[in-house]
Amino acid sequence: MKLRIHQNSLRLRLNRSDLKQFRQTGVCTEALRLGPNSELRYALEASSQVTAMEAQLREGCIRILLPLTMAQEWAGSDQVSLSLSSGEGGGPSLLIEKDFQCLHGGGANPGEDADTFPNPKSAMNT
């Protein structure tokens, strides 16, 4: 799972393995290690306790919570993304996406596209 932070927005991109884990457990987590005793953790979680997508920061973990029904429908469908514009409460804009293969090739890491979803735009160019 990839995390992108830009101004007051958060974007998570899940590859096929991430989505499989999310469908099976309702949780997908990652961590950025900043040193031997320091890390930034982030998670996507399905929750029966929320009625709308929301972001929280708890115990050093950025948590994006999805209502259970929304999470199950998105994870089990061809729907590409879920989004929420920043609200009056000052929360960030949120975007959760399925991670597609790069069209231009040559990603930052060799083999980075191995577990991504096929890019629908690549079929248009053949």
Structure confidence by residue, pLDDT tens digits, 66-100: 999 999 999 999 898 999 997 656 789 999 999 87
**What pLDDT does residue 28 have?**
97
More confident residue, 122 or 126: 122
| pLDDT over 90 (residue 29) | yes
Q: Which of 5-9, 14-18, 71-75, 109-113 shows the lowest mean pLDDT across its residues?
A: 109-113
Residue 32 makes CB contacts below 8 A (sequence gap 6+) with 3, 39, 40, 41, 42
Q: Is the pLDDT of residue 126 over 50?
A: no
d(CA 27, CA 19): 9
CA distance 39 to 104: 32
pTM above 0.85, yes or no: no
Fold of 2-119: Gyrase A; domain 2 (3.30.1360)
